[in-house]
Every structure is written in C-alpha cells, then in structure tokens.
Amino acid sequence: MVLAGALAVLIFFRSRSEPLPTLARPSLKDIAMSFLAALPAIVLPFVIRWAVVDGVATATEVSTIGVVYTLIVGVLIYRPVQWSRFYPVLVETVALSGAILFVIGTATGMAWALTQSGFSAHLAATMKSISGGPAGFMLITVVVFILLGNILEGIPAILLFAPLLLPVSHAFGIHDVHYSMVVVIAMSIGLFAPPFGIGFYSACAIGKVSPDQAVGHMWRYLAVLFAALLLIAAVPWFSTALLD
C-alpha cells in the first residue's frame, strides 16, 4: 500500500501536465455494464490466489491454471476465438520463455559462483562491522539488496544472503517480518532497474518495447519506489501492524 500510494502521487502530478480527456464521463449504467462484462476476467486473480492458498498448485504451477481458465473463458464467453492465432502465440511464447530462462540461468550461475567464492559470507561480515546502528544497517541492506536484485535472480540471491543477514538483524533488534519486507521490496526494485534487471528486460520483451527506449522513463518511478522503501525501512509499523 505504501508503494502503491507513492506511485499514485507521482501519477497524479504527472497527469496534471497531460491534456484533459475529450471523452464524456461514462454513466453509472455504462460502468455497471462494463464491470459485469469484465467480471469473468477480474475473477482470474482470485482463482489463482485460491489455488495457491488451498495447496491445489504451487506458485509456478498455478500459471497453468491461469492459462486454462483464460482459454475456457475466452472460448465460452469472450467469443469468437481466432484459432489461427494459436500457433503464432505458442511460437512467440516459447521464444520469449527461452530468452527469459537464458537470463535467469546466467544469473543463477553467477549466484553459484558467488557462493563458491565465499562472497556472501564476507558481505554479511562487512555489513555487520559497519557502524551506524539499526538505521545504518537497514540503509546498507536496502542498497545491497537493490544491487543484488539487479545482477542476480531473486530466489537464489535471497537464499544465499537472507540466512546470513537475519542473525545480524536480530543483533540490532529488528523484527524478522520488517527486515524480510525490506529485503523483498529492495530485491524487487533491483529486479526492474536498468541496466541488468531481469524484470526490466522481461517487461520490455512482453511489451515489445526496446530497452533503450524504455530506460529513460524508468528512473522517476524507481526513485519514488526507493523513497517509499526508505519509509518502510524507517517505520516498522508498516510491516508489523497486522501481526498483533
């Protein structure tokens, strides 16, 4: 919610410089009819959440449920389906998946190399030795995990560094949930940050936009997300308020 609020503020100020829309405001009846028409598609995220929470499928396997649900809804409700487009879509999907898996594979290889070199243990020891108390440690955590999220794939990086740094956070009296939220958000920001972020290149590939064209528009959003992350790191309440 903090990140969404920060992005909403940025979009509000950016939209004020844009020309006003020329279309008339839709009536409540039109909004209601559009909502009913879109309802089968809106249900999809809830179907995915139900499948994961109830143990029907893992977070990876649930993508298959999403594809099957989308296909059924597309055939039965949002007709007609252009069957001639299925083969080109499959070819495009395989090509895109191959490119993304290649990037993830190289990032995983780098994570293995860092593990073998002992870099993760040296980094944890360095972060612990730097003075500044809990605030300094959290700031270093934000910067380090943004950089790690930029050059490594998320899961290997978290598996490598989080177990080493959680005991350090305990020594500074930082709540586990609070520290975990900061780590995950920092990794996610790094994931979509140029020039190496896997998520950045994946989003460009999906949107069919050149990374060179998109990179200039990323920085203001990343800056706002970074400021929101600093707020989350400074105020544990945002992460722990719902635990009691």
Domain boundaries, the chain: 29-81, 91-244
Predicted local confidence at residue 115, as pLDDT: 66
Q: Is the pTM of this model over 0.85?
A: no
- Report pLDDT digits (tens) over 160-189: 777 777 778 887 888 889 999 999 999 888
Nearest-angstrom CA–CA distance, 219 and 215: 7
Burial of 21 (0-12, 13-18, 19+ CB in 10 A): exposed
Position 192 scores a pLDDT of: 85
Residue closest to 191 by CA, chosen among 233, 160, 230, 158:
158
Distance CA 130, CA 137 (A): 8
207: its two tokens: 């949107």
Provide the pLDDT confidence category of residue 229 given band limits of 50, 70 and 90: very high
Q: Average pLDDT, stretch 117-131?
A: 70
